[in-house]
Amino acid sequence: GAVVSQHPSRVICKSGTSVKIECRSLDFQATTMFWYRQFPKQSLMLMATSNEGSKATYEQGVEKDKFLINHASLTLSTLTVTSAHPEDSSFYICSTKHWESSYNEQFFGPGTRLTVL
Amino acid sequence: EDKVVQSPLSLVVHEGDTVTLNCSYEVTNFRSLLWYKQEKKAPTFLFMLTSSGIEKKSGRLSSILDKKELFSILNITATQTGDSAVYLCAPSSGTYKYIFGTGTRLKVLA
């Protein structure tokens, strides 16, 4: 399957700071990437769809000014959690679809665990 | 509102047992359904189902979709301790948006 990486894998920050998470597709071009959030013992919740060269599409209830998404190249999308608060502590996962694939399965990055103190 | 219900929520079995995991859904503009296995970190892809009645198999795992009754099942035969994980199903709402269920937590005892 496709290889997707995320950096950092784990981050601890103070309340009020901003944190940037990178998602890279390592072996293919990804015009579309997806950002999910997963709270403990809960399922993945889609936050936004990131499209290369255009604005991200946010799901209902997700604040676009708080969760800034940039997809400046075909291999990199970034999620910046601005002015993070303890309730933003979660597991953030990106995924992408191989652009050459005729199927829609999504390949997930390893995730980033964010802890806001 | 899109809805995905997986059952059972959790399951404990012994090695060698066969398990059936259920996923029922109500989504708008359904296109396909994905099954994933999630251990400690990110989910790994198992199956994608688009047509009713066609069983997909991969080793001891198999899955089938019923688009009329709006459900899918994932079967695991001859379970092993390495099968212990959370199994997630995700029907699509549109082409790319997938709605994940809360998963079935499977524990296989040696």
Is A104 close to B42, i.e. CB distance below 8 A?
no
Q: Report, as an integer, the average pLDDT of A87-103.
A: 81
pLDDT for res A30: 77
Name the strands in the sheet holding A4-7, side by side, starting at the edge strand that comes first in the sequence. Answer: A4-7, A19-25, A76-81, A67-73
Among candidates A44, A105, A110 on the partner chain, residue whose Cβ is nearest the Cβ of B48: A105
Q: Is A8 on the interface with B (CB under 8 A)?
A: no
Q: Minimal Cα–Cα distance from A9 to chain B, Å?
A: 10
Could you identify the residue written with the tokens 């301790």? Answer: B81
Q: Is the peptide bond before B8 cis (omega within 30 degrees of 0)?
A: yes
Contact check, Cβ <8 Å, A46/B98: yes
Token code pair at residue B110: 């040696």
DSSP secondary structure string for all residues of A38-102: E-TTS--EEEEEEETTS--EEPTT--TTTEEEEEEETTEEEEEE-S--GGG-EEEEEEE--TT-S
**Nearest-angstrom CA–CA distance, A33 and A24:** 9
The first and second tokens of residue A54, run together, are 């255009």
Percentage above 90 pLDDT, chain A: 62
Joined tokens for residue A93: 């996962």
The CA angle A27-B42-A63, to the nearest 5 degrees, is 95
Of A30-44, A80-94, B25-39, B46-60, the poorest mean pLDDT is in: A30-44
Predicted local confidence at residue A41, as pLDDT: 81
Which residues in chain B have Cβ-Cβ distances shorter than 8 Å to A111? 41-42
Q: Per-residue pLDDT for A83 more than 70? A: yes
Give residue B6's pLDDT band: very low, low, confident or very high (50, 70, 90): very high
Q: How confident is the model at residue A99 (pLDDT cuts 50, 70, 90)?
A: low
| Whether the predicted pLDDT of B41 surpasses 60 | yes
- For B88, nearest residue in chain A (alpha carbons): A43
Greater pLDDT, A2 or B27: B27
What pLDDT score does B97 carry? 84
